[in-house]
Structure 1
Amino acid sequence: MAFKFLLFAAFLAVARAGVIGVAAPAYSAAPAVSYSTAPVAKTIIAEPSAPANYEFGYAVNDPHTDDSKSHQETRHGDVVQGSYSLIEADGSKRVVHYTVDAHSGFNAVVSREPGSVAVKAVAPVVAKVAAPIVTKLAAPLGYAAGPAYYH
């Protein structure tokens, strides 16, 4: 198989060198293209700029998973006001009121309300560890276990 490859490679090299009468493909130059350097008028369409205005809000109250949270926000131009609340791990409710504007930046007021939701007690998980398994390795076949010599 290697001989066939070498024979093919040699034939290809001779053909590329032009010794054998294999016609090489003829390439022609690309047609000349002229480009105009005249300025092109660009039309710019200005989009109307209106201040951003929106309002949104949502609330979740799932008694099955004890997931209770809410969020509401309004924006008028560059001024954003909103609040959100959630139940912490200890059962207390965290309420955050925030405002964002160009003058003051982001300001948030965080408050906590005492636990209004009963927190379910979860039993600690104790992992039982089995006694370690100790195996005695026998000597390989054909070798007798002899005394150990130390220097």
Structure 2
Amino acid sequence: MKKTVLIPLIATGALFGCQEANQSQGKDTSAIEQKVQQPLWAGAYSGTTPCMGCHSRCEECPGMAVDLVLNQDQTYELRRESLSGHNEVEVLKGRLLFKNAEQTQLELLNVKSRNLIYVDLDHQMLEIREDQTAQPYAAQDDFLLELATA
């Protein structure tokens, strides 16, 4: 006498369904972890600052447009464009170096002037500081770059 063995397909289907659910949960978790791991200072910032020769805005000078992208791998891309059209667009790339453990003060390596930056995470802004001293400019509001919203 032969015995017939029945394998319930419903149970195996449920078992496969659980595995798929676990795999998709793993993907969701890794996506969340990637978002959490991205530093708060990383992002694209932009603004209009006084021209390179000025310490504050002048009536006769429209200033310069500044776009700065800070990447999570501690590299940057800086684009500066004179709004008066007197100078060529300047694009600089390189590494950035944090000057403190809180990661609120950084230096853009390979940039000769206006390379010291203060990171204001509360207001999602960057403030360009004076060369050498890293002190705020007297007209500090003229040297702010805002985080671009996605």
Q: TM-score, normalised by structure 2?
A: 0.26
Larger radius of gyration, structure 1 or 2?
1
RCO higher in structure (CA 8 A, sep ≥6): 2
